[in-house]
Amino acid sequence: MNNRPGVDGAISLNRQEMGMGMMMRRVFAFGPYDDTVAMPMAASYSSLYETSEFCSSCHQEARILENGQTWDYRKVYPDDDPEAFEGGRAVPTQWTYQEWKVWQDGLAADHPDKGRRCQDCHTNWRKEMLPYYKFVVDGAAQEMMGVQRDPQTIHPHHFEGATEKQLGTAAYLEIDAAQEDDELIVTVSVTNANSGHRLPTGIWMRNLILLVTAQDENGNSLKFLRGETVPDWGA
């Protein structure tokens, strides 16, 4: 993990070569399975692809302030590891990996979410995607040699991002309303229940806007009296 963007040479993906004479050169292709046999690609196992650290190479980055400037990151990220902020010089532009790590570090060893990696939510087969073979191989490739696997270990080549499916399980919404004389007092709370990082995450310009409207039994909007409103830029 580092704070540099995954561009401009900050990460390099090395593919080792193996040769038996000029004609037998093979370039290894790495992945998370230790039992694949794909000769032309010299498919090989690398434990890196099973970890969240692999994703951090692109989904963790900061702008590093210069000329001794720092900012008070504790106001926004009170629970984070100070080292990740490089003494206040690092201003997050994508903090997804650190957000995930803080969540994981805070879980007890026997918590059901302990050890849940990026891959488990974003590259795993899920019930809603049935039938899963469609996401694994296409056309004639389905008749080629294959290995029986536990569906939990099958990774479709499909990244489920902020889709309706993901968002539907990401948060709980609770609404509490009580009538006081001729006023309706409404309290709404959103709990980040199942996204393995902050909600929303990813690039900094993503926002989550909660719009609450109230109507009477005839469908007429009630007059808004006080409380927070959606700013102009969110309308």
Q: What's the gap between Cα 76 and its chain centre?
A: 19
What separation in angstroms does the CA of 4 have from each of 9, 21, 162, 200? 10, 39, 24, 21
Binding mask 10-49 for ligand HEC (x = CB under 6 A): ----------------------------------------
- The residues, any chain, with a CB within 8 Å of residue 31's CB and separated by 6 or more, are 43, 44, 45, 46, 49
Which residue in 68, 112, 161, 219 binds ligand HEC (CB under 6 A)?
161
Q: Considering the complex, state which of residue 11 and residue 177 has its C-beta at the smaller distance from ligand HEC.
A: 11
- The residues, any chain, with a CB within 8 Å of residue 72's CB and separated by 6 or more, are 88
Which residue in 29, 42, 43, 162 binds ligand HEC (CB under 6 A)?
162
Choose one: 125-133, 142-150, 176-184, 190-198; the region binding ligand HEC (CB under 6 A).
190-198
How far is 197 from 118, CA to CA, in rounded Å?
A: 10
Q: Is 200 in the site for ligand HEC (CB under 6 A)?
A: yes
- Shortest distance, position 61 Cβ to ligand HEC, whole Å: 10
Q: Considering the complex, state which of residue 63 and residue 111 has its C-beta at the smaller distance from ligand HEC.
A: 111
- Shortest distance, position 57 Cβ to ligand HEC, whole Å: 5
Q: Considering the complex, state which of residue 11 and residue 185 has its C-beta at the smaller distance from ligand HEC.
A: 11
- Contact indicator for 212, 188 with CB cutoff of 8 Å: yes
- The residues, any chain, with a CB within 8 Å of residue 127's CB and separated by 6 or more, are none
Reported as half-sphere exposure (CB side, CA atoms, 13 A), residue 63 has a value of 9
Which residue in 33, 95, 100, 125 binds ligand HEC (CB under 6 A)?
100
Q: Is 118 in the site for ligand HEC (CB under 6 A)?
A: yes
Joined tokens for residue 200: 């929303």
Residues that bind ligand HEC (CB under 6 A): 6, 52, 54-55, 57-59, 96-97, 100, 116, 118-123, 159, 161-162, 166-167, 170, 194-197, 199-202
